[in-house]
Amino acid sequence: MIKNEDSIVGPETSFKGIIGVAQTDITPPAGIYSRNWGASAFNTAEGIHQALMLTCMTFQSPAQENPLVLIAVDLGWWKNSADEKVFRDKLWKALDIKPQELMFCLSHTHAGPSICLDDADNEGGEFIRPYLQFVLDQSVRTVQEARAAAVPAVLTWQYGKCSLATNRDLADPEKERFIVGFNPTQEADDTLLVGRVTDHEQRTLGTLVNYACHPTTLAWDNRLISPDYIGSMRDLVERETKAPCLFLQGASGDLAPAQQYVGDVGVAESYGRQLGYNVLAALEAMLPPQKLLSFAGVVESGAPLAIWEKSEYEASDILLAEMVEVELPLKCLPPLAVIQQQWHECEDRVLKERLWRQCGIRKAVGDGDMALVGLWIWRLGDSFLIGQPNEAYSQFQMELRRHLSPFAIGVMNVVNGSIGYLPPKKMYNDDAYAVWQTPFESGSLELLISAAISTANKLSLNESP
């Protein structure tokens, strides 16, 4: 109940610090190996639909020397964990930062180039190694540009909604299994989180968009490199804000657009505009930086009218970063050597692709019965950014938002690596792609949720950088 003029709407979810923003084009050459679908009849891209982009934000507090470095790129996933480890080790060493201070986030587009050196012997594979080096060089350069451009700024968050994402676990009408596609009977998490970075003159320096939806609009009939729906979303937001837009893929293991697996780029563009207009609506709903609504009293009119007025508050400058390794149990999996032998003997193009992916997963988790999985948790004032390498189901982000409220919670899949799906344990009795693809045993998602909540709660009690 409101008792006096000091009551406020809150708590606010902002961060005040030194923030840098920079962006660059990382579009690969047409002709690079880009077979991302088992059903594809071709190996290489014929052209470019929209540019692939790399966007960086750096965050510092006055008491910290090293920034936290957030990099978002329009790429799909790491098929080989060794490629990712080499890439990330080179990156954080080149930037002279600690491993917990870097999150390299993939948008998870399924219309991008291969970034797996094991594909080098395929048609178009000769472009992969130089392209990876190009992305590494551009990452270092863009972070340096962001740090050089960093100024005192405020990051303000606003939740919104977008109906683009739908549930994609559909009961097969002909077989006792689940297929991957639009399930209109199941609700989907439609939460959108938007961040706005503004300087002391209230100029927008950049926006962050955290939304969970698989970029699987364009599939085996598409022959163009594309960021999928993310490209048109970004174009729209950047045109309106005149500042770079950084996209963070959420916990989208069970979420995708209703119509997908098409070759028509117009469908992806329409989806991007749908998300983009919802982002702009969230930005429009924001108050100016470090402003909130305070209850100012009552005016007696035809009805007693509550008066709320803008007032100032001091945003938090707390900046903390932690990386923990979560031990997750593995299913009983064939050894790597057995999977490799099956791959060599297989002549079916689709099954061979599945076995190839299983090889990559087995390499990532090893031949033991447990795997250590990285979890990155950053506290930025009254918000958290939480990233991990797997394709967690949306339960991950929903539970974190529920337990960590009133902090603004940004949750990201495919961060600092790629391994497998993390479906909820109730699904493990079902014949579903996410269950048989993942190397992780039932209950692994729940273990990750518990570790994230525990770590974030510890950081939430820390009131100084």
DSSP 423: -
Give the residues of the chain that fall short of pLDDT 50: 1-11, 464-465
Q: What is the pTM of this model?
A: 0.93
Residue 12's pLDDT is 62
pLDDT of residue 283: 97
The answer to whether 232 and 226 are in contact (CB under 8 A) is: no
Query: For position 345, what pLDDT does the model report?
Result: 77
Identify the residue whose tokens are 């598409």: 222
- Looking at residue 349, its pLDDT comes to 65
**Spatial separation of the C-alpha atoms in residues 165 and 188, rounded to whole Å:** 7
Q: How far is CA 255 from CA 168, 175, 416, in A?
A: 6, 22, 21
Output the pLDDT for position 350: 67
Q: Could you tell me the residue ranges of all domains in the chain? A: 14-290
Tell me how far apart the alpha carbons of residues 103 and 111 are, in angstroms, rounded to a whole number.
Answer: 22
Whether residue 390 contacts residue 421, with contact meaning beta carbons closer than 8 Å, is answered with: yes
